Structure 1
Amino acid sequence: MYPHYPFDIQNFIDRLTTIAESVNSKVLYIYLDIGYHHLLDKRVDEADEDSLCYKLKEKLLCKDLFVEAYPPAEDAIEQKLTSDPICLFIGTENARFSNLSLTTKASQWFIYDPLKISLYEKNPLTAQYMRRRYYYIEKCKDAQTLGLIVATLTAEGYLKIVSHLQEMAKARGIKTQIISVGRINPAKLANFLEIDCFVLIGCPFNNVYNSKDYYKPIVSVFEAEMALNPAWHMKYPDTYVTDFKKLLPEGEKFLAFIPAESQEQDVSLVSGRVRTNNAGGIEEEGAAADALSEQQQALVGKGKMEVMTTNTGLTFEDRTWKGLDPALGCTEPAKLEKGLSGIPTNYTHE
C-alpha cells in the first residue's frame, strides 16, 4: 500500500494557469508520483463536476487529457503516447521522475511539487545528472576492466545482456568480471580494486544517478551500450533506456553490434589521451604479462622521497591479502551443540 499525501486540488488548478498557453490544443499527460495515486479516484466519472479531469479540462483547453499513476500497477496496460505530448509530473524531483522523464519522449516536461506548491519546467536531457552520466560513459570507454554487477536473478533476459556486454567488451580488448554481491554499497565494491568501471544489471527503477559515493563509476546497461557499441557513435538518443530488455534483439532500442565498425583509435574526452582498440590483447595477455609497459611500471615519488612502483594492471593474484584461509582438510569437524532458544529478551537458558 502506498502512502496518501495531502493534495490541494484548487492550488494545483490555480498554478496550471501559468502553462495554459503551452498546453492549448495539445495532448497532456499527468503522472502521479507515489503518495498521490489516490487522486485517480477523483477522475472516474469525467462528466462529474467534482472530478479531477472535469476541472482540469475546464481550466485547460487541451486536445486530450490522461492521468496515470507512476510507477504503474503490474496489471496496468501500457498506453502508447501520441507524438510529442506535454507531460506533467505531480511529486518531487526524485529518481522516479528521472526514470520517467528520460524514458518518455515529450515536447515539454513540467513538475508540480505539492509540498512547495510550485510548478516549473524541466528538461531532463540537459539536467546536471545527465551531464554526469555522459562523463561516466567516457570513463567506461577508458576502462581496462569492467565489473558486470548482476543485481537481479529473476529479470527475463539478464543472461543474454551479460553475454552481449562481454562480447562488446572483448571486441575492444576490455576484460570483464561478473559480480553478484546482493545489495550494492560503496564498501562492497571497494574490494574490487582492479575494476575501473561497474555496469549495473538490474531493475529499471534502480537509482544509478547518485553514484558519487562510490570509488569507481557505475553505469547502466544502456550507458555501457553507448560506450561499447559503435552503432551508437555520434548518436544522441531522444529518450533514455532504463530497461535493458529493450536493448536485446527483440527490443525497440536494439542496435546490432558489428565488431568491424569499431574504431582502431579514439581520443578520450576525459584524459585527452588516444585510446587504442586492443582487441587482440586478451589473447596475448600471457606474453604481455611478462613485460609490463612503461606506463604500468611508472616510478612514483612518495612524500619522504621514497620510490615505489605502481602497477595499473593489478589483479587478484598480485594482492597481498586474498581473504581468510579456509584451510580445507586441516581442521577437525566441530561437534554439534544445542544453540540458543527463545527470544533475545528472554532465552530459555537464562
Structure 2
Amino acid sequence: MGDVSYGACCIDDYTARSLGCDFIVHYAHSCLVPIDITTIKVLYIFVTINIDETHLIKTLQKNFPRGSRIAAFGTIQFNPTIHSMKDKLLESEEHMLYIIPPQIKPLSKGEVLGCTSERLDKNQIDAMVYIGDGRFHLESAMIHNPEIPAFRYDPYNRKFTRERYDQKQLVEVRASAIDKARSSKKVGLILGALGRQGNLATVENLENKLKASGRTVVKIILSEIFPQKLAMFDDIDAFVQVACPRLSIDWGYAFNKPLLTPYETNVMLENDRMFNEKYYPMDYYHIDGYGRGKSPNHEDVTI
C-alpha cells in the first residue's frame, strides 16, 4: 500500500479492503485494534527483543534504594523482560526492589504508548522506569504523571538516564490554544484516516457538541495532518483532530490556527476538567477513551 505505519494504531484495513486485499499481516506491534472489529482479517506477529537483563537488573539495584517501588514499562517488544526482572528483583536477597508493571486496559501490563499510559498513585510509586529507545512513549507517562520521577534505560547502548518533561510549557501552550479556539465560529473537524487513529463515533460526538455551541463544523478527512495542509483552509478559525493527540501536544505550536485534541475540545466546551501542571490525561486508547469512540470524563481523577 506504500503508506506509513507509525504503530499499532495504523491498521489500515479500510484501504486494504478497497484494494481488494483479504488479509493484513501487522508486524511487531501489539493488538491495539481488536481483530473482531476490522473489516478484513488481521494477523498480529508479536516480536520479542532479547536484551541484557542482568545489566538492567544491576543498573536498577545500583540506582534505587532497597525496597523502592518502581513502575516499569516499555514498548511491547520488551514486555517479557519487564515481567522476568520483576520476579528476580522481588526474590533478590542482596537488593530487593518492587517492580510494578502498570496497566491501562486494554494494553498489556507493563505496556505504554505515546498516547496511552496509566495514571499512577504518586504516594505508592517512587519512580517510573521506561525500557526502550527514544522518549516518545515515555513522554506519555511523564505527561500523565508529572510528579513522579522518570528514568529511561536504553537497552541498545545500556545507558540509564534521568528524564524530564516541561509540563509548565505544555500547560501554557495548550491552554493558549484552547483560549484562542473559544472565539471560533467555524471549526474544522478532522477524522484521521491513517489506519485506525481516527474514530467515527468520536467525530460524530464532537460534531454534535460543537454544533450545539453555535459553531459551524466543516468535516475533513486526512491521512496525515501537516501545517501546510491546514493552512489552505483559511476561512476556518480552529481545528479539532481525531487522530493522534500527540500531534497537538508536540506540534500544535507549528500550526497557524489552534489544533485541539478531543479532550481539549471538551475542556473548551466546559464538558471536562481543565488540565494543570500536576495532571494532563493520556488515555486515548483506554477502553473508555476517545480512540474507542467513548467520551471519558476526568472530574474524579485524584490530583
TM-score with structure 2 setting the length? 0.59
- Residue 187 of structure 1 pairs with residue 221 of structure 2: no
Change beyond 3 A, Cα 1:140–1:93: farther
Change beyond 3 A, Cα 1:237–1:75: closer
Q: Which residue of 2 aligns with 1:198?
A: 239
Change beyond 3 A, Cα 1:35–1:157: closer
**Who wins on radius of gyration, i.e. which is larger?**
1
User: Does the 8 A contact of 2:201 with 2:293 survive in 1?
Assistant: no
Q: Which residue of 2 aligns with 1:96?
A: 137
Q: Which residue of 1 aligns with 2:12?
A: none
Residue 30 of structure 1 deviates from its aligned partner by 1.2
Q: Which residue of 1 aligns with 2:289?
A: 246
Superposed, 1:282-301 pairs within 5 Å as none
CA distance in 1, matches of 2:247, 2:193: 11
User: Does the 8 A contact of 2:73 with 2:129 survive in 1?
Assistant: yes
CA distance in 2, matches of 1:200, 1:132: 17
The equivalent position to 1:227 in structure 2, one of 268, 274, 281, is 268
Residue 61 of structure 1 deviates from its aligned partner by 3.1
| SS of structure 2 residue aligned to 1:198 | strand
| SS of structure 2 residue aligned to 1:209 | helix
Residue 17 of structure 1 deviates from its aligned partner by 4.0
Superposed CA offset, 1:221-259 (max 9, x none): 11112222165258777341442743699765266xxxx
Q: Which residue of 2 aligns with 1:31?
A: 73
User: Does the 8 A contact of 2:147 with 2:278 survive in 1?
Assistant: no
The equivalent position to 2:64 in structure 1, one of 16, 20, 38, is 20
| SS of structure 2 residue aligned to 1:139 | helix
The equivalent position to 1:9 in structure 2, one of 36, 40, 53, is 53
Q: Which residue of 2 aligns with 1:54?
A: 88
Change beyond 3 A, Cα 1:154–1:16: closer
User: Does the 8 A contact of 1:90 with 1:111 survive in 2?
Assistant: yes
User: Does the 8 A contact of 1:181 with 1:188 survive in 2?
Assistant: no
CA distance in 1, matches of 2:149, 2:246: 22
Superposed, 1:1-350 pairs within 5 Å as 1-2=27-28, 7-17=51-61, 19-21=63-65, 24-33=66-75, 35-37=77-79, 39=81, 43=84, 53-55=87-89, 58=92, 60-62=95-97, 64-67=98-101, 76=108, 83-84=121-122, 85=125, 86-103=127-144, 107-115=148-156, 117-122=158-163, 124=165, 126=167, 128-129=169-170, 131-152=172-193, 158-170=199-211, 172-202=213-243, 209-229=250-270, 231-232=272-273, 238-243=279-284, 245-246=288-289, 253=297
Q: Which runs of 5+ in 2 are unaligned?
A: 1-26, 29-46, 112-117
Could you tell me which amino acid in structure 2 is paired with residue 111 of structure 1?
A: R
Could you tell me which amino acid in structure 1 is paired with residue 217 of structure 2?
A: T
Change beyond 3 A, Cα 1:171–1:107: same
Change beyond 3 A, Cα 1:78–1:96: closer
CA distance in 1, matches of 2:76, 2:108: 16
CA distance in 2, matches of 1:57, 1:130: 41
CA distance in 1, matches of 2:294, 2:148: 27
Could you tell me which amino acid in structure 1 is paired with residue 96 of structure 2?
A: L
Q: Which residue of 1 aligns with 2:6?
A: none
Q: Which residue of 1 aligns with 2:14?
A: none
User: Does the 8 A contact of 1:150 with 1:200 survive in 2?
Assistant: yes
Superposed CA offset, 1:116-171 (max 9, x none): 54434445572644543333233322433221101159969944433443344345
Change beyond 3 A, Cα 1:145–1:4: same
Residue 199 of structure 1 deviates from its aligned partner by 1.2
CA distance in 2, matches of 1:56, 1:206: 39
Residue 218 of structure 1 deviates from its aligned partner by 2.2
Q: Which residue of 2 aligns with 1:336?
A: none
- Give the % identical residues: 18
Cα root mean square deviation, aligned: 4.5
TM-score with structure 1 setting the length? 0.52
Superposed CA offset, 1:94-137 (max 9, x none): 33222344346874332223455443444557264454333323
Could you tell me which amino acid in structure 1 is paired with residue 81 of structure 2?
A: L
CA distance in 2, matches of 1:81, 1:213: 28
Q: Which residue of 1 aligns with 2:15?
A: none
Could you tell me which amino acid in structure 1 is paired with residue 75 of structure 2?
A: D
